[in-house]
Amino acid sequence: MGNPFEGLHPALRVIAREAKVLPATGQALEDLMRPDHAEVIDRLRSVDDKAMDVLLEKPNRNPYVELQPLHRTQKHLLRFFLDGSARTFFLGDAVEGHRRTPIHVAQVGAVAVLRKDDGQVKVAKSVHKFVLMLDKKAVSFGDKVEDLVKKAGPNFGFHDTMEEDGETEKSSPGREPRSRAAHKAHHIMAGEEEKLGRELQRDKDQWLVLDGSLGKDLHSWKDVPQFFGVTNQEPKWRNVTAWNNLLNGPPLMDKGIPQSVGEVRASSVGRFVRVLRRVVRNRQSGVFVEQRAARRAVNLGEEIRKIQGGQTTVVDIAKLTDEERALVFGHIIQEVYGMYAEASIDERADLPKRVIIFVDELNKYAPGRRGESESSILEYVLDIAARGRSLGVVLLSAEQFMSEVHGQVVGNCATKVIGRSDSSELADAAYRFISQDLKAHLTRLDKGELLLSHPIYRQPVKIEFPRPAYQSIGHE
């Protein structure tokens, strides 16, 4: 079997030739949506619907259940079952001058299975496509890429990430193409599902079961006879309106006992509740409240987006716990990065030319060693370090030990300033750009003396930090 992506090679070669491609950190990244796309669509579709909560069978706590073929003595109605799947991968950013677009490849598929009277199932019809997605208007070669993909054959497709289709705008509002791609792919998948479902040859009284978000508000299935859909939003979540409901009540807990949720085992749910309870209840500084005070509440993201050139914005996180600091820092990183990534050419003229994000103790958010202390916002920090400069976002950090910072952040750092350090710290691989003689000198630097390393210098340069223009209390 050949490379299934071979049809996209001509288009990808054009992108690599016409633009500078900043690849995804490490490898192609799969875009995972939280909440799931189907859940978003179900919420949009079932706001005014009556929720039916009927228990049809007893919950079975056995992970393995022996199944026997179910032979029916009479003709049954539920014959066809239709479902689709979409996986989206972020390949990197294509930069052409001051213009930029993310590049995504999506695998989209749909299948309808037929259930026979003897309990066996077979594939009645299926479709599988590879879709290349980018912001076509953001670059000069968008039309050329689209033409090449269309010539690749029926199993390949091209879609403009920012083109309005009436559906993606509902599930993923905004102008940021990186976040729209996965929703766009699911909309493409829904279209393939609908086309496949309409083309099925069904006899009378053969009903079609649709799994997921093919519903009355988002797709025109009203003229299709004998079908019904299964939504993914469970009514039991609607009662979760406060932290206490989430931590102590259903569906996660029942009389103090963790409950399995979908495919998530009860033990995993219990661990999640313990971690969340520690953050929300036991070790919180007042950030997590049951109800926000409307007059005193401030949206951090909105305040960040108001920043102007020449301004300095300070976010005080001194009184927050480590978990709360990570949440605040991650939110700021997302807002600043999205502010530049989603802006058009005209809108970017109103933004500051540069935004410098200063972070103290960066090793807490981008640790060098994976394990229990691994940061949940590491991906955002790596994105800023790798691609932020092309957008005008600069990361400036300070930490006690450079060896404790993630290697990709250190590797993407152009300017490094090092003060007096211990020989055990200097033995780490992060300092391999410094010769042994300079390492010995670093252990004897005086207060205020620093070593500056930058690509424009062949060797690190010794500098002196100026004395403060004020006198400290208690010091002459």
Output the 3-class SS for 315-380.
CCCCCCCHHHHHHHHHHHHHHHHHHHHCCCHHHHCCCCCCEEEEEECHHHCCECCCCCCCCCCHHH
- pLDDT confidence of 284, banded at 50, 70, 90? confident
**Measured between alpha carbons, how far is residue 379 from residues 176, 264, 367 in Å?**
17, 24, 11
Say yes or no to pLDDT of 216 above 50. no
pLDDT at 103 over 80: yes
What is the residue whose two structure tokens read 């993909």?
Answer: 149
Domains of the chain: 6-46+75-226 (no CATH), 234-297 (no CATH), 300-464 (3.40.50.300)
Name the pairing type of β-strands 78-96 and 207-211. parallel
Spell 52-76 as b/e; 16+ CB within 10 A means b.
eeeeeeeeeeeeeeeeeeeeeeeee
Longest dimension (CA), the chain: 99
pLDDT in tens, 362-406: 888 888 765 545 556 777 788 788 877 777 888 888 888 898 888
Backbone region of residue 119 per phi and psi (left: phi > 0; alpha: psi in -120 to 50; beta: other values): left
Over 50: is that where the pLDDT of 218 sits?
no
Q: Which range is least confidently modeled, 229-233, 276-280, 316-320?
A: 229-233
| 370: amino acid identity, one letter | R
How confident is the model at residue 91, as a pLDDT?
Answer: 87
Q: Where are the alpha helices (DSSP H) in 31-79?
A: 37-45
Locate 311 and state its tokens.
């301004």
Among 32-41, 242-251, 349-358, which is the least confidently predicted range?
32-41
Residue 332 vs residue 49, higher pLDDT = 332
How far is the C-alpha of 126 from the C-alpha of 110, rounded, in Å?
6
Quote the pLDDT of residue 118: 73
Measured over the CA atoms of residue 88, residue 91, residue 93 and residue 96, the dihedral's sign is negative
**What mean pLDDT do residues 265-293 have?**
81
User: Which one is predicted more confidently, 41 or 77?
Assistant: 77
Beta-carbon count within 10 A of 312 CB? 7
Quick one: residue 160, left, alpha or beta (phi over 0 = left, psi -120 to 50 = alpha)?
beta
Query: Shortest CA distance to 149 belongs to which of 25, 10, 323, 50?
Result: 10
- Give Cα separations from 64 to 61, 67, 269, 284 (angstroms): 9, 9, 19, 40
Q: What is the pLDDT of residue 55?
A: 42
Average the pLDDT over 67-94 and give the result: 79
Quote the pLDDT of residue 15.
92
Mean pLDDT of 111-128: 86
What pLDDT band is residue 156 in, cutting at 50, 70 and 90?
Answer: very high
pLDDT of residue 111: 93
Token reading at 257: 């006992």
Per-residue pLDDT band at 157 (split at 50, 70, 90): very high
Angstrom distance (rounded) from CA 380 to CA 87: 21
- Per-residue pLDDT of 242-261, as tens digits, reads 888 888 888 888 888 988 88
Report pLDDT for 294.
58
pLDDT at 334: 79
How would residue 57 be classed by pLDDT, with cut points 50, 70 and 90? very low
Question: For residue 344, is pLDDT > 90?
Answer: no
- Mean pLDDT for 58-86 is 70
Q: Which of 67-76, 236-245, 311-320 has the lowest mean pLDDT?
A: 67-76
Question: By three-state DSSP, how is residue 16 classified?
Answer: helix
Alpha helices, DSSP H only, in 9-96?
Answer: 9-18, 37-45
Q: Give phi and psi for 396, each to the nearest 5.
A: -120, 120
Per-residue pLDDT, 144: 93
Could you tell me the pTM of the whole model? 0.51
Q: What is the pLDDT of residue 9?
A: 92
| Three-state secondary-structure class, residue 432 | coil
With bands split at pLDDT 50, 70 and 90, how would you rate the model's confidence at 141?
very high
Are 329 and 377 in contact by the 8 Å Cβ rule? The answer is yes
Average pLDDT, the chain: 78
Rounded distance between C-alpha atoms, residue 307 and residue 402, angstroms = 30
| 436 has a pLDDT exceeding 50 | yes
Evaluate whether 46 touches 231 at the Cβ level (below 8 Å).
Answer: yes
Instruction: Give the pLDDT confidence score for residue 221 in this predicted structure.
Output: 65
Which residues, listed in sequence order, are joined to residue 396 by a DSSP beta bridge?
358
Q: How confident is the model at residue 225 (pLDDT cuts 50, 70, 90)?
A: confident
Query: What is the predicted pLDDT for the residue at 414?
Result: 86
